[in-house]
Chain A
C-alpha cells in the first residue's frame, strides 16, 4: 500500500475474498451430543433393559436343546494295545458298541455330529493344501500344485488332492433303538454353495488314498465330488482346534430315557496327536445348538450396565458437583509458565 490518494486499486481487479458457504466456513449444521448424566444413565438402563430379556430368551432357547455327548476314543480301543499301531492296522477289528441314554425327549430332526478336539484344521499348511480349481472343474485335474505333499501319485494327479481331503474323517456310526435300526439321513448336510458351486458335479475321485501312507477315508470313485457330502463337510475347514462336523440326521423323535445303541467303526487316528473323538446327538432351536454363553453374556452385560447406572446415580448423589461450575473454568492447577 502506498500513501496518497492514488492508491485506490482499480475496481475491475477480481477480489480474492473467500466465498461464503457454510461448508468452507465450517458452519455446517451439526448435531453435538454430549454425555450428560441423563444420557449416560438412560443409555446404561436402556442397554440393561434390552439385554437382559434377550439374554433370558436365548438362554432358555439354549436350555431347550437336548444334547448327548459321548466321548468314545478311549473306550473304543483295547487298553492293552499300542493305540496308534492298533488304529493303523488293517487287521484289527475296530467295531465298537456304545449305549446312550436320551435324557429328555428329542424332537426330530436330531442332528448327529462327530467332534474332534486338538485337531488343527486351521493350520496354514493344512488349509492351503487343496486345489479349488481342481475340485470345481474336471479339466483342471492337473492343477495340483498347491496340494503338496498329497498332489500326485506315480505322477498321476490325485482327485481330490491335498492334505484336507486326504485326512478325511472315516469313523462311521450305526444307530438302533429298541433293536430297530434308526435310519440316518446324510442328505443336505453340506452347504448348498459347496454342492452347487465349489465342487463339480462332473469331478470324480481318482487315485485317491492310493499312496503308501493312508490318511483317512476313501471315496467311491463313481460318485461325483458334489455328492460326496461327507467330503464337502470335512473340507469346510474348522476355525478352531476343537470342532464338530455334521454327520447326518435322525428324522424321528427320540423319547426320554430311551437307550440308543451306537455301533461305531473306530477308524480315524486321533491317537497319534492326542486328540479326542466324541459323538454328539443334538436337537436345535432358533438359536442353534446348546451354548449358554450367548445368553449369559447378554445377561452379564445387561447387569453390568444396570450396575453402572446405579453407581453413577449414587456417585452423583454423593458428589453432586455441577459440571458447569464456572469456578472450574481455569487452569489454576497448572498456571502457564511452570
Chain B
C-alpha cells in the first residue's frame, strides 16, 4: 500500500509544524486530556476564518481540488500502455512487432503491427472514455459555486476548488457541502441544522447536527470579522462517524461529529448555515473513503491464463521443430562442397540461410517461427472478452425483472470481471437482517410488568404452526390465518407502517384500566423518550412522522404514539410529548429536559437518555439487548423478572427482535458527580475517548428497574422463501450468518424455507450446563479446553450421523452458535468443521460477529476451492463481501457501505435468483464457450500454417498473404464470437428459472473443464489437418480450370483461407442454438466480408496487394473446381464435430440439451 505509507509519512512532517505551533499559541490551555493533540494522528490545526494566516499557510494543507480520474492528460499514454503490457500475451505481440522490422520477419511489419494497434487502441479508447466521464464529473464538482467570507467582510461567490482550509462559507438549503465543515451557526436560533447523507451512506433520513452554543449566536455578517478561532483536530481519516477535535475560542470546547458537516452531504430543512472548512479535497472523509472496487478475477480467467501458457508452449514446440528441420535442410544445400538447391543461391547467402552456418541460421529461424505461428495466440481474446463483459453488465443493469420499484433501484453490476463467476456459485453466505428481511421493523408484541400483550401472528409463528400441523410445506400460499390477520387489519381500518400491534387491552387508551397502568405508563414513556428520532410535523394534516436512525427506533416511537404518547417536538435540550394522562384520561403536553444521550453502539448494545421530567425528577431511561440488560437490573427482587424473561425467550422463538426496557431514578448528587466525569471523558481528545465515554456511561447504567420488553418483527422480504428454495434446488448451498439468537435463527430458517421439513438438524452449541458452570467459575483456560473438547465431540457426532444416513436421502442442516464457531474456526478443527458443513444443505451460524463472517467465508473459499458468494447489506458485512469470490450488496436501508464494497448491487434478495440462475448461467456459458471457440479458431488457423511449412522446407514462408492473416482475428472471425458472448442463450430465462438444476453446469464447470477445452482444441487441430491435406490433395499439380492454367501459391492460399473462414464460422453456427438476426448477420456477414475483402483488396495496385491481386475475380471465381473444393473441404472439416454432436445429444445429452429438446417437443409450454 504505497498510498498508505505515503500518507503516514505526510503526517509525520505535519507533526513537526504543529508542535511548534502548540507551544506558541495554545500552550497555556494544554492540559492532560489534550495530550493527544499534536501527537501523531491528531495534528491538524485550522485557523477559522483566517486562511491567510501565516501559520496556516505554512501547514500547506491540500486545496479543495478533487480528481478521481485514473489518468491525467500527461500520463494517460504511458500509464495505460503499461497497464496493457502487463499481460503476457500483449508483451509477446509487442516483441513480435518490434522484431518484425528486422529481416527475420516472415511477413511485413505493418501487417503485424496493425492488429496489435487495433487491439491496444480499442482497449485504450475504452479506458479513455471511462476516465473522461470521471473527469467530467470532477470538473462539474470542482466548479460548483459557494459563498465564501472574503476580506472585505462580505460573502463572495467562489468555486469549490478555490476553497482553502480555514475559509468561512455559507451554504444554502438543498446545496451540497463543498468540503468537510465545522458548523458555526445556522438559520435556526439554537444552531441546529438538518443534513441528508444519502451520497455518503445511502441513508435518506435527516440527521441533526448542532453547533456549539458558543458559536451558534454568531449570525450576522459583521460579527464574523471578529470571529477568529483555532480548531485542533484529528488528521484526515476515513471514519465517517467519528471526529475528535477541540475549538480554541477563548477557552477550549470539545468538538464531536455533531458539529461536522461532511462533503457531499446535503443541507435540508434549514435555510442556510455558516461553516469553517476543516478538511479539503482529498482530505475529506468522503474522499478518504473512496476505494477502488475490489479487483477480483474470475476462475475462468485464471484458467484461461493457463491455456494461454499451454498455447505458448505449443508455439515454442512448433518453432523448435520448424527450426531444426530448417537447419537440416539448409545444411544440405551444400553437399560435399557442391550446391544442391542452387536456385536458392546458397553459395552467397546471408546468415539467415547460410548452409555453412546452419545452426546459427536455425537459431534465427526459431525467432522467425515464433512470429509466424503467432496466430495460435488469440490476440483479440482479451479485448473481446472485455467488450463482451461490459455488454453483459449492461444487460444485467437493464434487466427489468431486477428493478425494485419501491426504492427505484435497478440492479447494478459494479465490476464486469465477475459475470461468469455468477454462474458458478457453490455456496451463498448470507446476512440476515436487511438481506433476508426488509429491515423495516413492526412493533408486534410487548411484555409489560410480566404480562404479554399483542395478539398478532408473526410469519415465523405461521410457518411453525404449519410445520406442526403437518400441512404442506409449500411456501407462498396464503394460509388461512394470514388472510385472517389481514382481514383484521382491514377491519380496524388503518394500517400503520411500523406498527402491527393488536391488543384491545391496552389500545385506544384502555391501558389505564390495567392493574399495572403505572408500569405501562413508564414503559411507553421510555419508548417515547429514549431515542434519537426527529419528528416531522405535516403542516396541513397535523400528522407526525419520524426520521429515525434505525427502523427499530421508528417502530418504538410510532408504537408509543399509537398508545397515547405522541412525541412531537425535539430541541437540542428538550423532548416534548402529547401524553395521555392516567388519572384524567385526557391528553396533556409534557416537556422533558434532555440532559444526556448515551448513544447506542454495537458493543454497548443499549442506549440511554437522562432526562428531567416536569416534576423535576432525574430519570435514566434505558433500552437494550437482554444479554447486557439483565446483569444491569437492580438486585432487588422484582416480581416479574422471570415472567419477562420467559416472554423474551418466546418472542425470540417467534423470530422477533427483543429489547428490554428499564429505567432508574437518579439523585441530584449522584448525577452531578457523574456528569462531571462524563463531560471530562467527552472532551478528552484522545484515541481512546470512546472507550472512556463508554466506561463512564457504564457507571450510571446500573441498578435499573425492569419495566418490560418489546418485540419487533423484521418481516421477511417478499419472495425470500421461494428464492431460497429455488437456489437450494439449483444445488447451491446456503449459509446464513446472523447475529441473532439461536432460537430466532432457527425459526427464521423455517420461515424462509432454509430449514425444511424432514431435514435433520445438527446443532453445535456451547450452551450446555457443564460449560455454563465453568463460565460462572471463570477459569478461562479450563473453559477453552472444555469448549474445544465439547465441540470436537459434537462435530464427530455430526459426521458419524451423516455417514450413517448416507443411503437415505435425508438432507441435513447445521446450526452453530458464535461461541462454538470461534473454536470451530481454529486451525485444528476447521477442516473437520468444514467437512461437516459442506455435507449439509443449509448452515446457520448464529451470534456471529462481522469478523467471523469473513473468516467463515475465507474458510469455504480456501478450504474447498469453491466459488463463494456473499450477500449482505450492512457495514458489518463488508469484510465478508470483500473476502468472498463475489460480493453482492443489497442496496437497502442500512446505507451504502455494503454496496460500495460489493461487486454487484441488487435491491432485493429475491433478485439473486435471477441474477444467478439466469444472468449467471448465461454469462458463464457465454464466456466459457467464447474462450473455447477462440482457441479453436486460432488453432485451426495456426496449424494450417504449420502444415504448409512442412511442404516449404520449413523456410518460414506463410501460406497466406500478409493481410489475410492479420485480418483473421480482427475481421473475419471476431464479430460472431462477440455476438456469441453477448447474446447466446442455451435456454430462455423462463426455463433457466424453471429448471434450477441447470445451474449445476456452471458449478461443476462442465463447459470449461479441461476435457471440454482440450476437446475444442483437438477439434481445431483436426479441422486444420482436414483443410490442409484435402486442399493440397485436391489441387495437386493438375490444371484447375478449363483453360489449362495451374494452381500456384496464391490460389492455394485463397482456397485454404476460404475454407478456414467458412469452417470456423459454420462451426460457430453449429455450436450455438440461438439465432437472432444478429447472429445471422455476423456469421454470414463475416463470410461475405471475406469475399468482399478479396475483391476490394484485389483491385488495388499489385504493389500493395501482391499475391492477392485480382485473385478472386480473375482466377478463382471462374473455376468450378475452386467452389467445389471449398464445399467438400468445409463439409469434411465440419463432419466430425457434427457427427459427434449428433450422437452425443442423442445418447448422452447435457442438461441444457434435454431442456431444449423438451421445449421443442412441446412437452413444456
Contacts and interface: CB of A to CB of B under 8 A. Distances in A.
Interface of A: 1-7, 9, 13, 15-20, 24-26, 28-37, 40, 43-44, 47, 51, 54, 58, 84, 109, 111, 113, 115, 119-127, 129, 132-133, 136, 148-150, 163, 166-167, 191-193, 197-198, 213, 215-216, 236-246, 249, 269, 272-274, 282, 284-291, 293-294, 297-298, 301, 304-305, 308, 312, 315-316, 319, 321, 323-324, 326, 328-331, 334, 336-337
B1043 A3 contact: no
Interface in B1113-1133: 1114-1115, 1119-1121, 1124-1125, 1128, 1131-1132
Contact of A336 (B394, B731, B957): B731
Contact of A122 (B204, B407, B951): B951
B398 A4 contact: no
A128 to B, nearest CB: 8
Interface in B525-559: 536, 538, 543, 545-548, 551, 554-555, 558
A4 B1146 contact: no
B1045 A191 contact: yes
26 contacts: A3-B497, A3-B548, A3-B551, A4-B498, A18-B400, A26-B985, A29-B1076, A32-B1075, A47-B1131, A109-B1044, A120-B953, A122-B1049, A123-B957, A149-B347, A244-B1046, A246-B1045, A285-B1042, A294-B1125, A323-B1149, A323-B1153, A324-B1161, A329-B1151, A329-B1154, A330-B997, A336-B426, A337-B838
Nearest to B952: A122
Nearest to B1039: A289
B1163 interface: yes
Contacts of A127: 957, 1049
Given A34-B1073, A120-B955, A288-B1040, A3 B1121 contact: no
Contacts of B1074: 30, 32
B158 to A, nearest CB: 30
B828 to A, nearest CB: 23
A111 B997 CA distance: 68
Nearest to B402: A18
B106 A124 contact: yes
Interface stretch (B278-286, B338-346, B747-755): B338-346
Contacts of A16: 403, 408-410
B555 A240 contact: no
A109 B1131 CA distance: 34
A193 B1124 contact: no
B11 interface: no
Contact of B546 (A3, A122, A167, A243): A3
B559 to A, nearest CB: 11
A7 B204 contact: yes
Given A2-B548, A125-B344, A301-B1131, A294 B1034 contact: yes
A17 B106 contact: no
Contacts of A245: 1046
Interface string B802-821: 00000000000000000000
A284 B546 CA distance: 97
Contacts of B426: 336
Contact of B538 (A6, A54, A323): A6
B1011 to A, nearest CB: 14
Contacts of A294: 1034, 1121, 1124-1125, 1128
B1075 A33 contact: yes
B1095 to A, nearest CB: 14
A130 to B, nearest CB: 10
Contacts of A163: 343-345
Nearest to B202: A1
Contact of A126 (B344, B397, B1004, B1161): B344
B353 interface: yes
Contacts of B1106: 132
Given A2-B205, A124-B957, A331 B1147 contact: no
B984 to A, nearest CB: 10
Contacts of B341: 120, 123, 272-273
The 10 tightest CB contacts between A and B, nearest first, are A4-B545, A289-B1038, A3-B554, A239-B1052, A336-B731, A289-B1039, A111-B1044, A167-B343, A2-B205, A24-B398
A288 B1109 contact: no
B322 to A, nearest CB: 12
A321 B476 CA distance: 37
A124 B341 CA distance: 13
A197 B1039 contact: no
Interface stretch (B81-89, B768-776, B1137-1145): B1137-1145
Contacts of A25: 398-400
A35 B1157 CA distance: 9
A328 B1152 CA distance: 12
A88 to B, nearest CB: 9
A2 B1046 contact: no
A5 B543 contact: yes
A280 B352 CA distance: 36
B324 interface: no
Given A132-B1102, A298-B1128, A305 B1135 contact: yes
B927 to A, nearest CB: 16
Given A30-B1074, A35-B1141, 20 more contacts: A4-B545, A6-B547, A18-B399, A18-B410, A28-B983, A32-B1075, A34-B1156, A126-B344, A149-B349, A163-B343, A236-B1048, A243-B1037, A245-B1046, A272-B342, A287-B1040, A288-B1041, A297-B1034, A301-B1128, A326-B1163, A336-B732
Given A294-B1124, A323-B1157, A331-B731, A284 B408 contact: no
B733 interface: yes
B1103 A334 contact: no
Interface of B: 106, 203-205, 338-345, 347-350, 352-353, 394-395, 397-400, 403, 405-410, 426, 440, 497-498, 536, 538, 543, 545-548, 551, 554-555, 558, 731-733, 838-839, 841, 892-893, 922, 951-953, 955-957, 959, 983, 985, 989, 995, 997, 1000, 1003-1004, 1030, 1032-1053, 1073-1078, 1102-1103, 1106, 1109-1110, 1114-1115, 1119-1121, 1124-1125, 1128, 1131-1132, 1135, 1138-1139, 1141-1143, 1145-1147, 1149, 1151, 1153-1154, 1156-1161, 1163
A319 B1148 CA distance: 12
B1146 A323 contact: yes
A18 B411 CA distance: 10
Contacts of A323: 1145-1146, 1149, 1153-1154, 1157
Nearest to A88: B342
A239 B1038 contact: no
Given A18-B410, A324-B1161, A289 B1149 contact: no
A123 B410 CA distance: 62
A13 B1131 contact: no
Contact of A13 (B345, B408, B922, B1040): B408
B398 A125 contact: no
Nearest to B1152: A34
Contacts of B343: 119, 126, 163, 166-167, 215-216, 273
B1048 A334 contact: no
A316 B1048 CA distance: 47
B952 A319 contact: no
A24 B411 CA distance: 13
A3 B496 CA distance: 10
Nearest to A129: B345
A2 B543 CA distance: 16
Best-surrounded residue of A287, A305, A334 (most CB of chain B within 10 A) = A287
Contacts of A287: 1040, 1120-1121, 1124
A297 B1030 contact: yes
Contacts of B841: 337
A5 to B, nearest CB: 5
A136 B300 CA distance: 54
Nearest to B406: A1
B589 to A, nearest CB: 21
Given A6-B538, A238-B1049, A20 B400 contact: yes
